[in-house]
Structure 1
Amino acid sequence: MDGQFSAKSDVFSFGVILLEIISGKKNNSSHLSEKSQTLIRYAWQLWREGKELEFVDPVMMESSPTEDLTRCMHIGLLCVQEDRNDRPTMSSVVVLLGSGTVSLPQPRQPAFFVPKVIPINQSSLTNRSESGLTVSSVFSSALP
């Protein structure tokens, strides 16, 4: 959020990519309902409802055991937890992905992407509108 990168923000990014692979969907995409808004929120919602398999891309279901897919979703959710101190290290993630016998802790609420509206100073624009409307830019900001 503040432009600083760390090992924990790398783990967060890896978790997002893992969730994208499992679902076959991009994190910020129009396929998600307004209620979910982001892939992370959608994954968390289904996880809490016990509907993990609804999150998984049907193509993945054909080629991988469901236990492996739900485990990957579980690990992805561990990586995107809101509190960076609750996230595993990348070396732990490698162990968790490589071993089906290591038990996983329950994930806590993830850090959700929050749209941020930043007003643009009209005097800085070269082609100002004569209508008097305010111009804003929308940026997605992660909370890793």
Structure 2
Amino acid sequence: MTNAVSQVPPADPQAALEHFEREFQFETDCWDVHDALASGDPGFVLLDVRSPALFATGHVPGATNLPHGKIIASRMDAYPADTLFVVYCAGTHCNGAARGAVRLARLGRKVKRMDGGVTGWIDEGFDLAVPVPA
């Protein structure tokens, strides 16, 4: 019986292995980011690429707010050239993290996207940080 799942045959196991292993070069998930941040030495800079207004409603603890449209060479020069950046936005319904990743890659920076964004973070049961008004 053919359905939407089986209509296109799956890749052979070796091709599937190569494909899925390659994804880890570009993406990480909320759980791995949480664990890395908890270690005290995550090895990356976490960028929340949403607007300052959305950042103020809640963000991943330890994240720096840098909207994707403001990722420019002069701002990134504050970081060593070999810095790894992990970017996130609202969630899978948002392409801000991909936009931020593109901007960083165009600047020659190492970057991964945190799949799930804020929505994924909450779904994992992790708390958001909310800045205290000045």
Q: TM-score, normalised by structure 2?
A: 0.29
TM-score under structure 1 normalisation? 0.28
Which protein is bigger by CA-based radius of gyration?
A: 1
Q: Which has the higher helix share?
A: 1
Larger strand fraction of residues: 2
